[in-house]
Structure 1
């Protein structure tokens, strides 16, 4: 079965070295999103990027960086995303937060014969 509807996507861009109380910041954000019952969250590690510092961080062996870009993507309805964004003021000291409206197609309840 396919469910379709509008949602909000929250993307938080930070450096891999960002921490909150001895824990990786991306891990703390995902934990809080889970505790708050958000619909879903994923963390993506970038291969290369730069931010406000204009320093290029890369995973290429000749210029290996410890602080690669991280993107945390959370999807839920607008009200829940707005409530969650308020927590980011406490957590994020350097980074970028992006919110955009998205159309979501969610596939649920596949019949057993359709499993791969």
Structure 2
């Protein structure tokens, strides 16, 4: 796979994390848009665990902070590395990964179809 082909950058963070009074996931999404990142999405984690094997669930009984989101971006490696250098890594930022991906299909979106 081409070293500057499509890559996936994932930022795992707490839903309650903030930067300058804004949710961190919102800050990351807006920063990705302003930097021209090709694709970005925010995914809410329903269940999962980290190195301590503590389940982080988003169930009604789990009302404490600890709900997590993953901000994922797909673009060329160079663009994602530039974005990575803007991250503020703190205690409420979890795992950050960068990996090559193989796009195996893309149906597009109906609202992008030519009229």
- Scaled by the length of structure 1, the TM-score of the pair is 0.77
Larger radius of gyration: 1
Q: 1:17 to 1:65 in 2, by over 3 A?
A: same
| 1:57–1:65 Cα contact (<8 Å) kept | no
Question: Alpha-carbon deviation of 1:18?
Answer: 0.9
Deviations 1:79-114 (A, max 9, x none): 1111111001xx2313110111012244456566xx
Q: For residue 60 of structure 1, report the CA deviation from its aligned partner.
A: 2.0
Q: Which residue of 2 aligns with 1:79?
A: 78
Quote the RMSD (CA, aligned, Å).
Answer: 2.3
Q: Could you report, residue by residue, the CA deviation over 1:52-84 in whole angstroms, capped at 9, with x for unpaired residues?
A: 565432122233343211100000001111111
Specify the alignment match of 1:36 in structure 2. Answer: 35
TM-score normalized with structure 2 length:
0.78
Question: Which residue does the alignment assign to 2:8?
Answer: 9
Q: Tell me by how many angstroms 1:51 deviates.
A: 3.5
CA separation of 1:34 and 1:64: change in aligned 2, threshold 3 A: same
Give unmatched runs, 5+ long, in structure 1: none
C-alpha distance in structure 1 between counterparts of 2:7 and 2:47, whole Å: 26
Q: How does 1:1-116 map onto structure 2 within 5 Å? A: 6-51=5-50, 55-88=54-87, 91-93=88-90, 94-104=93-103, 105-108=105-108, 110=113
Moved more, 96-105 or 7-16: 96-105
How many residue pairs get matched? 106
